[in-house]
């Protein structure tokens, strides 16, 4: 009635969840940035399934890729080339997957 060998079974459980986003200054960016220097940000995201969209914001305004103006948006990275005083303020990234959206806490670039 009972087998002499134990029976086993396994099941892969795929837990999905909305993104959790955080923002970091890129490697090599000094704690004090001078006008004319380059600044890099990285949007760090944990999500399942993976994100399908990363967006970047400065003072709650969506940033778009504009290399001729020193603004380089590339997926989870943002570069401000030859930064100017008017670019000081709050920067944040948002991440989206099929489970939802998340905004990172801001990083403040001081004048």
Q: How many domains does the chain have?
A: 1
- The predicted structure's pLDDT at residue 48: 98
2 within some domain: no
From the list 59, 55, 56, the residue with the least C-alpha distance to 88 is 59
State which residues form the domain around 66.
17-26+35-109
pLDDT per residue as tens digits for the range 63-80: 999 999 999 999 999 999
56 within some domain: yes
78 within some domain: yes
41 within some domain: yes
CATH value at residue 89: 2.60.40.10
CA angle 47, 74, 33 (to 5 degrees): 100
43 within some domain: yes
Secondary structure of residue 86 in the 3-state scheme: helix
9 within some domain: no
Task: Average pLDDT across each block of 10 residues of the chain; the chain has 111 residues. List them in order.
Answer: 77 96 87 89 98 97 96 96 95 98 95 76
Give 82's contacts (C-beta < 8 A, 6+ positions apart). Answer: 36, 37, 38, 70
3 within some domain: no
**Verdict on whether the full-model pTM lies above 0.75:** yes
The rounded distance, in Å, linking the Cα atoms of 1 and 100 is: 50
- The predicted structure's pLDDT at residue 4: 78
């Amino acid at each position: 009635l009972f087998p002499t060998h134990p029976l086993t079974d396994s099941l892969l459980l795929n837990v999905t969840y909305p993104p959790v986003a955080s923002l970091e200054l890129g490697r090599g960016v000094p704690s004090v940035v001078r006008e004319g220097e380059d600044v890099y940000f990285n949007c760090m995201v944990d999500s399942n399934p993976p994100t399908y969209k990363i967006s970047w914001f400065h003072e709650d305004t969506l940033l778009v890729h504009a290399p001729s103006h020193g603004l380089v948006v590339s997926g989870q990275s943002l570069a401000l080339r030859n930064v100017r005083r008017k670019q000081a303020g709050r920067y944040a990234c948002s991440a989206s997957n099929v489970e939802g959206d998340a905004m990172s806490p801001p990083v403040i670039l001081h004048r």
